[in-house]
Amino acid sequence: MGVGRNLAYRRELYDSIGGFRSHEHLASGDDDLFVNAVARRGKVGIRLNPRTFVYSKPKTTWRAYFRQKTRHFSTGTEYKFKDKFILSLLTVSHLLHYFLGGALLIFKISIMFALLGYAVRMGVVLAIGSVILDKLQHRSLRLWIPVLDCLLILYYLVFAPSVLMNNDDTQRWN
């Protein structure tokens, strides 16, 4: 992924793939798709210096937020197959974790197994999330990780159907 407001690359790299020409029909996501097209192991770097952080004003209405997030989701359909597959596996594993764990609890099949599964997965998520939040200098958000992880399921369920129904309105230029 790339965010155009905080992305740097050489002109030669941009020109080597024709810039954003292959995705100029899209209203957003050209930065993501550019990085997806040119990123190679060892050729991409992440610099996490607080002086390089770029903050954006959030959307102030649910409608604007929904439209923005739907646009973000729809850009993902243009990614390389391998990247789409990996992102799909992550989403499916997340959904399965909560739905299967919930089923184990609801049907009282194995409360211990459900709680153990949640604890193990949340331990991994907290460990990775803590490292990321440390680097981004937002350590105070660690306590929100379990809540936000669970709410991510709602995010998937709300935004994915609009992308799957292929709402072209999200990809039009104003």
Total structural domains within the chain = 2
pLDDT of the residue at 42: 65
The verdict on 3 and 64 lying in the same domain is: no
The verdict on 104 and 48 lying in the same domain is: no
The verdict on 33 and 51 lying in the same domain is: yes
Q: Which mean pLDDT values do the consecutive 10-residue runs of the chain (174 residues) have?
A: 75 87 80 82 75 85 87 78 88 88 86 89 93 91 93 85 62 51
pTM of the model: 0.71
Nearest CA to 149 out of 169, 168, 132 is that of 132
Provide the domain limits for residue 98: 60-174
Alpha carbons 142 and 130: distance in angstroms, whole number = 6
pLDDT of the residue at 48: 81
